[in-house]
């Protein structure tokens, strides 16, 4: 913990009544005792390093100075950690990004993030051994700093519509890259603005005058010594955004830029010297880098949500407001049931997403292992599951974070509460790496196909069970509610199929019928994603080794999340799962009861997330609960408070206005 001398008495009281082992939950979240130790060592290393601190709060810097400040720390951090004698030996570079330890020093976003989460993984998964031998040493030592340049100003979602071309010229054995219009400019890639000197560029491959679809190319953008853009390359930054303002998202255009033939990443498809095109085993193998990040996002979103819940729960413990019992002192706002209703569903969801993230991560590793041996059979299930979980976790977390911000009243609106930044990070995940609506429709396509063809991966196997809709559910518990989610998903899928067939009979073209059925399709995909999270949650509790108190807590949180979702979407359960009004009333009572139970250990539970103050970065959520003093201290950092009168603006604007006798 923080080792602070002061401890708010309300927090102290809650902490003195802890009935479970907090360290057990910490280890569960980290993935084991060893991992907890590694994380703590890394955090300690970063926190104790004076060079990694900001001299001025980053909020008050200009756009360019913010970038510079963050880049300084990013470079220093990676330099220090690349030398094991400097700090913790085994450091996953991904852990240094927006989550965990990295966030302690890189608050606004790491300009090197895309190098680590997309550029390097693309080289590792899409290059031949010879290409890897040539490029990986330079990329891991940061002589080559890269990004993933796919999205264009006019095209993001629809990859087949990308405009950038790479045309093979057999006479020189080169590809010629071209951006045929303004809408073809690459737009968004992280680090592209001023940071990277290379990029994986996704472009339409033309050879022998035939378009073979989009393919990845390694392109040098800047001189390795001077960092000046190379001839034919137009590159810059796209400007301020809702968040991630130091990630240095950029634009990129090509005018007849020539690159060697073997800069096509050739693991899955090749162009021979004479221009002959060799097809990949699946055109979707080139989408691997996106799948990887979708899988990571589920974990990252859970991390962000844990931060938001910790801030709101601790603040709700120390904040006293209004009157609960006439004449009594103002109570802790944590005692209002309406407040618990804002805090505890997201608290429970952090666990649901955590278990689901583990599940999809394992599937990702099995699928990659298979792909390495030429076995692609897990790809559809991985695609369906990663889309479903990325979309559900990011959309739910965005809604939850906004409610948690509101739960802190006015102070939650302050930058120093850290809610604005957390919100900007989770809501970005709704858009990047596949806009959520589009991903829901990908999931729906997979569900429809499974239900109609009676074939599909493990995550959708329930759709093939012909008895699914006939099973009578008597008791409502975690297992049976999980089954109800299956029925809702299947119900929407069947409804969508009926609609599609109906439109078809009316003579509507399939693509129009699909468009007209989109709302049902999306609802089915969402119910499926909730089923997956419920199933992961229930199974992880059953299969995990836990002490009795922790197992009880996990069961209660699981029950709360499932009941919350069921009540929120009760219409779906009336339509497709034979839910009766009486059962719903009972579930609502159960939900209220669970809120009261979770109230007794909520503070201790968020403590067990073990997010140190420097990572939480919130005056409202600090371990010591000294929220008011910290608010004041933060206000005193405002440059406007440096003098009692802001002389320049007073003399220039206010005084003349006051004297003008309007």
Ligand X SMILES: Cc1cc2nc3c(=O)[nH]c(=O)nc-3n(C[C@H](O)[C@H](O)[C@H](O)COP(=O)(O)OP(=O)(O)OC[C@H]3O[C@@H](n4cnc5c(N)ncnc54)[C@H](O)[C@@H]3O)c2cc1C
Using CB under 6 A, list all residues that contact ligand X: 114, 147-151, 156-157, 188-190, 244, 249, 428, 431-435, 437-438, 441
Between residues 190 and 621, which has the closer beta carbon with respect to ligand X? 190
Distance CA 374, CA 345 (A): 42
Q: Kindly state the smallest distance separating residue 386's Cβ from ligand X, in Å.
A: 14
Distance CA 153, CA 188 (A): 8
The candidate with the shortest Cα–Cα distance to 305, out of 412, 401, 392, 390, is 401
Q: Kindly state the smallest distance separating residue 109's Cβ from ligand X, in Å.
A: 8
Residues ≥6 apart with Cβ < 8 Å to 41 = 87, 88
| 296 interacts with, out of ligand LSRMNBYM, ligand X, none, CB within 5 to 8 A per kind | ligand LSRMNBYM
| 353 interacts with, out of ligand LSRMNBYM, ligand X, none, CB within 5 to 8 A per kind | none
Between residues 98 and 195, which has the closer beta carbon with respect to ligand LSRMNBYM? 98
Show the DSSP H helices in 478-623 as ranges. 478-505, 510-516, 518-543, 548-568, 570-576, 581-599, 602-607, 613-616
The candidate with the shortest Cα–Cα distance to 364, out of 347, 340, 387, 342, is 387
Distance CA 625, CA 139 (A): 44
Q: Kindly state the smallest distance separating residue 529's Cβ from ligand X, in Å.
A: 16
Supply the angle between the helices 581-599 and 548-568 in degrees, to the nearest 10: 140
The CB-side HSE value for 430 (13 A sphere, CA atoms) comes to 10
Between residues 262 and 433, which has the closer beta carbon with respect to ligand LSRMNBYM? 433
Q: Kindly state the smallest distance separating residue 579's Cβ from ligand LSRMNBYM, in Å.
A: 32
Distance CA 594, CA 119 (A): 45
| 437 interacts with, out of ligand X, ligand LSRMNBYM, none, CB within 5 to 8 A per kind | ligand X
**Hey, CA dihedral for 558, 560, 563, 568, is it positive or negative?**
negative
Between residues 241 and 646, which has the closer beta carbon with respect to ligand LSRMNBYM? 241
| 160 interacts with, out of ligand X, ligand LSRMNBYM, none, CB within 5 to 8 A per kind | ligand LSRMNBYM
Would you list the DSSP string of 57-100? -GGGS-HHHHHHHHHHHHHHHHHHHHSGGGS-S---GGGGSSSH
Q: Kindly state the smallest distance separating residue 308's Cβ from ligand X, in Å.
A: 18
Q: Kindly state the smallest distance separating residue 147's Cβ from ligand X, in Å.
A: 6
Strand-pairing partners, residue 168, are 175
Is 190 annotated for ligand binding? yes
Residues ≥6 apart with Cβ < 8 Å to 291 = 364, 382, 383, 386
Give the nearest residue (CB) to ligand X. 156
| 383 interacts with, out of ligand X, ligand LSRMNBYM, none, CB within 5 to 8 A per kind | ligand LSRMNBYM
Between residues 157 and 638, which has the closer beta carbon with respect to ligand LSRMNBYM? 157
Is 151 annotated for ligand binding? yes
Residues that bind ligand LSRMNBYM (CB under 6 A): 94-95, 97-100, 113, 117, 148, 150-151, 157-160, 190, 284, 287, 290-291, 293, 296-297, 299-300, 379-380, 383, 432-434, 438, 442, 445, 449
Distance CA 163, CA 185 (A): 8
| 98 interacts with, out of ligand X, ligand LSRMNBYM, none, CB within 5 to 8 A per kind | ligand LSRMNBYM
Strand-pairing partners, residue 210, are 207
Among residues 43, 396, 433, 559, the one annotated as catalytic is 433
Tokens, residue 480: 């049976």
Q: Kindly state the smallest distance separating residue 101's Cβ from ligand X, in Å.
A: 21
Between residues 440 and 573, which has the closer beta carbon with respect to ligand LSRMNBYM? 440
Between residues 90 and 328, which has the closer beta carbon with respect to ligand LSRMNBYM? 90
Instruction: State yes or no: is 559 an active-site residue.
Output: no
The candidate with the shortest Cα–Cα distance to 579, out of 428, 260, 568, 347, is 568
Active site (catalytic) residues: 433
Annotated binding site: 151, 190
Annotated binding site for FAD: 151, 190
């Amino acid at each position: 913990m923080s080792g602070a001398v002061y401890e708010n008495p309300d927090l102290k009281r809650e902490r003195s009544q802890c009935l479970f082992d907090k360290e057990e939950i910490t280890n569960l979240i980290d993935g084991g005792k060893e991992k907890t130790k590694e994380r703590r060592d890394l955090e300690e290393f970063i926190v104790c390093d004076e060079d990694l601190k900001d001299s001025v709060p980053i909020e008050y810097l200009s756009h360019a100075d913010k970038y510079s400040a963050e880049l300084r720390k990013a470079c220093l951090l990676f330099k220090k950690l690349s030398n094991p004698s400097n700090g913790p030996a085994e450091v996953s570079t991904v852990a240094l990004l927006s989550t965990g330890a990295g966030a302690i020093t890189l608050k606004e976003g790491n300009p090197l993030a895309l190098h680590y989460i997309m550029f390097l993984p693309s080289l590792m998964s899409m290059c031949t051994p010879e290409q890897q031998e040539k490029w990986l040493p330079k990329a891991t030592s940061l002589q080559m700093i890269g990004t993933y340049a796919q999205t264009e100003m006019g095209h993001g979602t629809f990859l087949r519509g990308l405009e950038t071309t790479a045309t093979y010229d057999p006479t020189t054995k080169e590809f010629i890259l071209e951006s045929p219009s303004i809408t073809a400019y690459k737009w968004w890639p992280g680090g592209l603005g001023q940071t990277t000197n290379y990029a994986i560029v996704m472009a339409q491959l033309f050879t022998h005058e035939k378009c073979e679809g989009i393919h990845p190319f390694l392109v040098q953008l800047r001189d390795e010594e001077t960092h000046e853009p190379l001839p034919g390359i137009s590159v810059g930054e796209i400007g301020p955004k809702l968040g991630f303002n130091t990630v240095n998202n950029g634009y990129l255009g090509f005018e007849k830029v020539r690159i060697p033939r073997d800069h096509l990443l050739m693991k899955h498809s090749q162009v021979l010297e004479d221009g002959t095109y060799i097809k990949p085993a699946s055109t979707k193998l080139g989408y691997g880098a996106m799948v990887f990040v979708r899988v990571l996002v589920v974990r990252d979103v859970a991390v962000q949500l844990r931060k938001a819940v910790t801030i709101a729960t601790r603040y709700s413990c120390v904040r006293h407001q209004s009157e609960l019992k006439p004449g009594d002192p103002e109570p802790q706002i944590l005692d209002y049931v309406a407040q618990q209703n804002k805090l505890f569903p997201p608290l429970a969801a952090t666990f649901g997403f955590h278990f689901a993230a583990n599940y999809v991560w394992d599937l990702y590793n099995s699928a990659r292992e298979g792909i390495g041996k030429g076995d692609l059979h897990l790809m559809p299930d991985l695609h369906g599951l990663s889309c479903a979980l990325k979309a559900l976790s990011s959309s739910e977390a965005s809604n939850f974070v906004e409610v948690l911000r509101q739960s802190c009243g006015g102070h939650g609106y302050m930058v120093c509460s850290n809610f604005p930044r957390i919100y900007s990070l989770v809501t970005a995940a709704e858009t990047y790496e596949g806009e959520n609506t589009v991903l829901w429709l990908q999931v729906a396509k997979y569900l429809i196909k499974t239900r109609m063809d009676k074939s599909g991966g493990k995550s959708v196997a329930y759709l093939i069970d012909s008895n699914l809709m006939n099973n009578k559910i008597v008791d409502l518990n975690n297992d049976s509610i999980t089954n109800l989610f299956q029925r809702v998903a299947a119900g929407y899928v069947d409804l969508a199929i009926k609609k599609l067939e109906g439109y078809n009979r009316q003579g509507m073209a399939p693509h129009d019928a699909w468009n007209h059925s989109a709302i049902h399709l999306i609802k089915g995909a969402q119910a499926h994603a909730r089923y997956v999270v419920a199933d992961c949650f229930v199974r992880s509790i059953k299969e995990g080794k836990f002490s009795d108190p922790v197992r009880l807590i996990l069961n209660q949180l699981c029950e709360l999340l499932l009941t919350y979702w069921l009540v929120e979407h009760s219409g779906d359960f009336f339509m497709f799962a034979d839910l009766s009004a009486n059962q719903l009333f009972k579930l609502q009572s159960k939900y209220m009861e669970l809120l009261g139970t979770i109230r007794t250990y909520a503070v201790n539970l968020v403590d067990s997330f073990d997010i140190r103050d420097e990572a939480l970065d919130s005056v409202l959520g600090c371990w010591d609960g000294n929220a008011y003093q910290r608010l004041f201290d933060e206000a005193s950092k405002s440059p406007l408070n440096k003098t009692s009168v802001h002389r320049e603006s007073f003399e220039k604007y206010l005084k003349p206005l006051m004297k003008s006798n309007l």
